[in-house]
Homo-oligomer: A and B are copies of this chain.
Amino acid sequence: MDIKTFCLGILSFGDATGYEIKKQLEGPFRHFYDASFGSIYPALGKLTDAGLVERTELAQDKRPDKKVYSITPAGKMLLMDALEKPVAEDKVRSDFLATIVFSELLTPSTIDQMIAVRIAGLEKAIAEFDCEQDIAGPGAHFVCGFGKAVYGAAREYLENHRHEIVGHSLLTKSEKVQ
């Protein structure tokens, strides 16, 4: 899903500024979709040019004018068509797992700490999926439940199996280079 479609989706829940769309991506959703200002603002500009959203400028004191975007009927039609199409496969990039594959080259304490950090990160993410977020509705609820289930399983696996990976090698770095 490109950033334009995502913005249309957020705007289908109600009017928002670029800044507010970005804030959505700091909640639980950031765990499976992310974007920066550098892609959000240009996307909103293009959507406006295409007549898929409308822009209302609100003058503000001592701040840039707030630009509130709302989806147009044409935008909503296009959004629904886009959502109907088969979705691309999920893409995961895990430096953590890639490092684990090569973990024979690491010291046990490094691996152990890496896993501890990862468990902490998973717990933080699970807590985020638990919180109330701006966009409610059955879709967001389902997704948060999914996140909790999957990240919970990841944490559990790490806790139950970390002993299998830590301590497989006790060589020092200079010995390993041989």
Chain A residues engaging chain B, CB cutoff 8 angstroms: 1, 6, 9, 12, 29, 31-34, 73, 76-77, 79-80, 83-84, 86-106, 110, 114, 117, 121, 135, 137-143, 145-146, 149-150, 152-154, 156-158, 161, 164-165, 168, 173, 176-177
Contact = CB atoms under 8 A, between A and B. Distances in A.
A4 to B, nearest CB: 13
Contacts of A145: 157, 161
A87 B101 contact: no
A49 to B, nearest CB: 21
Contact of A97 (B32, B84, B110): B32
A104 B33 contact: no
A154 B146 CA distance: 7
A93 to B, nearest CB: 4
Contacts of A31: 92
Q: Interface residues of A: mostly helix, strand, loop or mixed?
A: helix
B93 A33 contact: yes
Contact of A83 (B29, B79, B84, B99): B99
Nearest to A141: B164
B90 A94 contact: yes
B91 A87 contact: no
Nearest to A8: B102
Contacts of A152: 153
B177 A73 contact: yes
B154 A142 contact: no
Given A97-B143, A154-B150, A138 B103 contact: yes
A148 to B, nearest CB: 9
A164 B177 contact: no
